Chain A
């Protein structure tokens, strides 16, 4: 259908549109008009992706000055989904306005691991080994050598791309990663380099958060993007954590050992070069005198890792004299690693700011701050000069350099914490030196500054007013949309008491109380006997889950649960969890029924959907607060309080509730679906927690479902399930949809 929003013709590939989708479009358009950033919350299952794509591409059609849409997703799977939706939209647009006007080029970009079609290299298992395998075949000096020596292997796809592909643009259309690989095979061109080349010309680019937020990657991939771009971060409820992770480094004993080995190897290579090709090293020296900025004219495939987002002036500065020569730099690194090793060898927890850390570093080991800043780039310049292709072997020294650069660059927003052992296991020495970023706004600031509009959206962004403060920006639009439901297909409940009327909670002083454990167990037992097919349980942490499952096992509750449903557990092992999930699905499919124990903030809570019969009920046992004794968390809380005036309690509650909402939100993925959510902790009853839940959950949380005991919850669940099992009336479900005529009528009414 086609309709007009305030003068903008929007092409929407479906016959009907939900009310909230329309409202979303209106708000989004306002933000784009104002050329500002916006923050929009709309529940999953309402077609957020197509709404975004539909409005923004229509906006692009109307305003050709707009450069491109950059759509950031978290996983490759989501990326493909977005591109599939976009293809449908594109087909519709072609039908409506002809293929010449609706011409777009949209493509997804991912790592070499997902795009490589070289028969040998693509078989590698890890991302680093694929990258290294690719470099061995495509680095400029390898290819130069191959021209004279036919024995040296190169990648035919890269050669093909280099010969023809780099000049010819991709024909317009929508390319998923799969399409790119197919196209690459047909033409004999490398899809990865083709995609990287083509994002300059594309109207829509879909890629991972990292490509914009992680300075190590964004430098190469995204630096050519124009200002007139619209950036969308989808599923962005954890964006602050992504930002922080992008700028945090952990160093352990094995990193330092590995770095020492790397340095040793570098020394060997340097001395070899000195004998055979001293000229190269001299050239590099001259180049460094001129400054890092001139590095840009290196060959396309060689600038594989670039500088972190540094203050602009550093890029123009020349590399300091004491690390210009290769052997000096390596000696510098050796001293740094030695110093870090000494720091790591401690019995007490040390917490320091970057300023004091660098000061002691320069006095104790003679490593000055200015030189630190350049470590990362200097290392890469060196690796290029030495023609090292096995970059995956040099990961450790890269980590160390990354650390040194970050420490040298930022004077605030970071803290360095050295812990001699894990708090939870004090007997095992496991020293770790953590450079932890405390300020999420540091990583995302360049994105906000650079691009015209940034859209941050997710199903769960509540409480929505905290995000602008955390990320330190001024959105022009903040809005939270609710879902128009055809029937009450959501049933959130707050369970505060067990059947024996004793309160239940995962609070620290109560969590090991056998009464609470038993009450939680009874709740699970009653529920698996009431709810069909799949049930998902979330616990606050792995250790809590282990403990409570052990107690249930001893009490015999687990055995009783297993009479009704099979039990699967998420573990920290990725493969094991995948297997458990697969079997869980199978048990749901064949009617045996299954229950999945999982952990808030775990892999499952973040990325796996339990829609339809895979999740008819999700129980959140306790409030998933972060581990409050963690040094890093405390440092961050302190920083937030001092810098952004966010109270510790506020942030902790915000974080816990958004995690809980994220967990329970797994259960419903579309309007035709239905599911129940039980928040099993008396603390959810407190207004400061309850009111922070997303609007779409709150609106379904009825007054009488607030302070339930187990037996009441079972009663409600029974009624709810019977009601939901009745066939839905198609007449009623139509009423939440708007057709083209409805929209035209609404447009005629001035005050909608």
Chain B
């Protein structure tokens, strides 16, 4: 009561901010601009994740079959995330699906939804991001209990048809705090482990023992989202391809087709939509069927169809550019090289810009934080190293 009297205008949502006192970490720079908090600290935080993700160069499984299990039980209707947990999850999953296919063009994804105690398939394992997103959006309602066991069992039946070289992954986005199972879930977990399914869990509320158990048993990861941004972040951690399974290390050849784009104006019956289409599309090199999108599996002869660009895009996961080393600002380094004071990428002055100074271990050029992020997350080439190679050629 007293508290109410003290701050009569304080709404419940404001209290969270009042507790945080986020305004206290604002810093005013010399030109009077406000900056949120300690830049350098945030940048380090960001980089720590990158460094953890990178590690030594490892063999990665590029061909992945990922089964996304979403929890749309009653708990997903809670509104501690705005507008609701379900809407937030759907948005994050949308981003995840796009990013997933962008970085793993050779992989497939399917979506399962748990609600009302049962698990149902929203989309089968397939390649097209748009189809997944569309199907998900038409399926947004939440009620009943969630059953992890049913979800895993369903994912397990999926897995039966996956070729042995494919990586079997399950990512569960779990809003509920309990699972209401028909049988013993621990048996199902054993079954998943035997089927070499890697199950990861993204929680929205709190640490749940069974989720931890599932992820530990099957070699997946478990994280709980603090807020919307964090949820997206931990979902996106599942985008880069995982390390190759140790027992599948023997090299096996995978038959793939590189279809040609059909000529404009050609009329053909599309094999995926079963209707007449004019122009565009791709022709399967084995059976000459027309498909609308790549990558996919030919619906007639079952050949994996990709474009060479997809293969190339997956390439950088196998040969990543090294993580840059952070240089502590040290007077002795200044003036050694002609570009010592500025970023090699964008020529911004590094000293006093509030950015970390990062150096590529191969070409020994310095970069600012923003360029570092750009190089590692989008470009996948180091400009410094590339120019070195050019110089070597000339």
A-to-B contact residues, CB < 8 Å: 497, 501, 529-533, 564-565, 588-593, 612-613, 616, 704, 707, 711, 715, 718-719, 721-727
Per-residue 0/1 for B11-26: is the Cβ within 8 Å of any A Cβ (1 yes, 0 no)? 0100110010000000
Can you give 6 contacting A-B residue pairs, CB < 8 Å? A531-B177, A532-B208, A707-B3, A718-B205, A719-B16, A723-B226
Q: Which of B128-136, B180-188, B269-277 contacts A (4 or more CB under 8 A)?
A: B180-188
B29 to A: closest C-beta gap in Å: 30
CA gap between A722 and B181 in the complex, in Å: 25
**Cβ-defined contact, B185 with A722, below 8 A:** no
Residues of B within 8 A of A612 (CB): 209
**Cβ-defined contact, B185 with A724, below 8 A:** no
**Cβ-defined contact, B205 with A591, below 8 A:** no
B74 to A: closest C-beta gap in Å: 9
**Cβ-defined contact, A726 with B178, below 8 A:** no
**Cβ-defined contact, B209 with A721, below 8 A:** no
CA gap between A497 and B213 in the complex, in Å: 37
CA gap between A564 and B223 in the complex, in Å: 22
A46 to B: closest C-beta gap in Å: 23
**Cβ-defined contact, A532 with B226, below 8 A:** no
Most A CB atoms within 10 A — which of B181, B186, B205?
Answer: B205
**Cβ-defined contact, B177 with A593, below 8 A:** yes
A583 to B: closest C-beta gap in Å: 14
CA gap between A723 and B213 in the complex, in Å: 19
Q: A532-B209, A591-B208 given as contacts; is B226 within 8 A of A726 (CB)?
A: yes
Residues of A within 8 A of B211 (CB): 591
**Cβ-defined contact, B185 with A591, below 8 A:** yes
A-B pairs, 8 with minimum CB distance: A591-B210, A725-B224, A721-B206, A613-B209, A593-B178, A725-B207, A591-B179, A532-B208
B148 at interface by CB-CB < 8 Å: yes
B7 at interface by CB-CB < 8 Å: no
CA gap between A718 and B148 in the complex, in Å: 22
Residues of B within 8 A of A616 (CB): 206
Chain B: CB-nearest residue to A616 = B206
A490 to B: closest C-beta gap in Å: 16
B203 at interface by CB-CB < 8 Å: yes
CA gap between A466 and B224 in the complex, in Å: 45
**Cβ-defined contact, A564 with B177, below 8 A:** yes
**Cβ-defined contact, A592 with B180, below 8 A:** yes
Q: Which of B15, B80, B186 contacts A590 (CB 8 A)?
A: B186
A547 to B: closest C-beta gap in Å: 28
Per-residue 0/1 for B144-169: is the Cβ within 8 Å of any A Cβ (1 yes, 0 no)? 00001000000000000000000000
**Cβ-defined contact, B210 with A501, below 8 A:** no
Chain B contributes a number of interface residues (CB within 8 A of A) equal to 30
Q: Which of A529, A530, A588, A722 contacts B226 (CB 8 A)?
A: A722
Q: Which of A497, A564, A589, A722 contacts B206 (CB 8 A)?
A: A722
CA gap between A704 and B181 in the complex, in Å: 39
B 52-96 contacts with A by CB, 8 A:
80
Residues of A within 8 A of B393 (CB): none
Q: Which of A497, A711, A721, A723 contacts B205 (CB 8 A)?
A: A721
Residues of A within 8 A of B12 (CB): 711, 715
**Cβ-defined contact, B177 with A529, below 8 A:** yes
A675 to B: closest C-beta gap in Å: 12
A534 to B: closest C-beta gap in Å: 9
**Cβ-defined contact, A718 with B80, below 8 A:** yes
CA gap between A613 and B179 in the complex, in Å: 15
**Cβ-defined contact, A591 with B181, below 8 A:** yes
A78 to B: closest C-beta gap in Å: 25
CA gap between A707 and B179 in the complex, in Å: 34
B1 at interface by CB-CB < 8 Å: yes
Residues of A within 8 A of B148 (CB): 591
Q: A532-B207, A532-B209, A589-B209 given as contacts; is B179 within 8 A of A722 (CB)?
A: no
Residues of A within 8 A of B184 (CB): 590
**Cβ-defined contact, B185 with A725, below 8 A:** no
Q: Which of B16, B179, B205, B213 contacts A592 (CB 8 A)?
A: B179
Chain B: CB-nearest residue to A711 = B12
Most A CB atoms within 10 A — which of B3, B180, B208, B225?
Answer: B208
Q: Which of B2, B3, B224 contacts A726 (CB 8 A)?
A: B224
CA gap between A405 and B3 in the complex, in Å: 62
**Cβ-defined contact, A590 with B208, below 8 A:** no
Residues of A within 8 A of B185 (CB): 590-591
Residues of A within 8 A of B223 (CB): 725-727
Residues of B within 8 A of A564 (CB): 177-178
Query: A590-B181, A719-B16 given. 18 additional CB < 8 A pairs?
Result: A497-B1, A530-B206, A532-B178, A532-B208, A533-B177, A588-B209, A591-B179, A591-B210, A591-B211, A593-B177, A616-B206, A715-B12, A715-B15, A715-B16, A721-B207, A722-B205, A725-B206, A725-B223
Q: Which of A531, A590, A718, A727 contacts B210 (CB 8 A)?
A: A590
CA gap between A616 and B178 in the complex, in Å: 14
Q: Which of B178, B180, B203 contacts A725 (CB 8 A)?
A: B203
B224 to A: closest C-beta gap in Å: 3
Per-residue 0/1 for B329-368: is the Cβ within 8 Å of any A Cβ (1 yes, 0 no)? 0000000000000000000000000000000000000000
Residues of B within 8 A of A565 (CB): 178
CA gap between A533 and B15 in the complex, in Å: 28
Chain B: CB-nearest residue to A720 = B206
A713 to B: closest C-beta gap in Å: 13
Residues of A within 8 A of B205 (CB): 530, 532, 718, 721-722
B128 to A: closest C-beta gap in Å: 33
Most B CB atoms within 10 A — which of A531, A593, A704?
Answer: A593
A535 to B: closest C-beta gap in Å: 10
B 198-257 contacts with A by CB, 8 A:
203, 205-211, 213, 223-226
CA gap between A719 and B227 in the complex, in Å: 10
CA gap between A589 and B184 in the complex, in Å: 10
B109 to A: closest C-beta gap in Å: 25
CA gap between A24 and B226 in the complex, in Å: 38
Residues of B within 8 A of A722 (CB): 205-206, 224-226
CA gap between A531 and B208 in the complex, in Å: 9
CA gap between A674 and B72 in the complex, in Å: 28
**Cβ-defined contact, A501 with B186, below 8 A:** no
Chain B: CB-nearest residue to A590 = B185
B179 to A: closest C-beta gap in Å: 4
CA gap between A178 and B391 in the complex, in Å: 76
CA gap between A530 and B15 in the complex, in Å: 19
Q: A591-B178, A591-B185, A722-B224 given as contacts; is B1 within 8 A of A501 (CB)?
A: yes
Chain B: CB-nearest residue to A612 = B209
B239 to A: closest C-beta gap in Å: 19
CA gap between A130 and B6 in the complex, in Å: 68
Residues of B within 8 A of A726 (CB): 223-224, 226
Residues of B within 8 A of A719 (CB): 16
A40 to B: closest C-beta gap in Å: 33
Chain B: CB-nearest residue to A529 = B177
**Cβ-defined contact, A592 with B178, below 8 A:** yes
Chain A: CB-nearest residue to B224 = A725
Residues of B within 8 A of A590 (CB): 179, 181, 184-186, 210
Residues of B within 8 A of A530 (CB): 177, 205-206
Residues of B within 8 A of A613 (CB): 207-209
Residues of A within 8 A of B80 (CB): 718
Residues of B within 8 A of A531 (CB): 177, 206
Chain A: CB-nearest residue to B146 = A591
CA gap between A305 and B368 in the complex, in Å: 83
Chain A: CB-nearest residue to B75 = A529
A588 to B: closest C-beta gap in Å: 6
CA gap between A501 and B226 in the complex, in Å: 29
**Cβ-defined contact, A591 with B206, below 8 A:** no
CA gap between A711 and B13 in the complex, in Å: 12
CA gap between A13 and B210 in the complex, in Å: 33
Residues of A within 8 A of B179 (CB): 590-592
CA gap between A616 and B207 in the complex, in Å: 10
CA gap between A591 and B15 in the complex, in Å: 32
Residues of A within 8 A of B181 (CB): 590-592
Chain A: CB-nearest residue to B177 = A532
Chain B: CB-nearest residue to A613 = B209
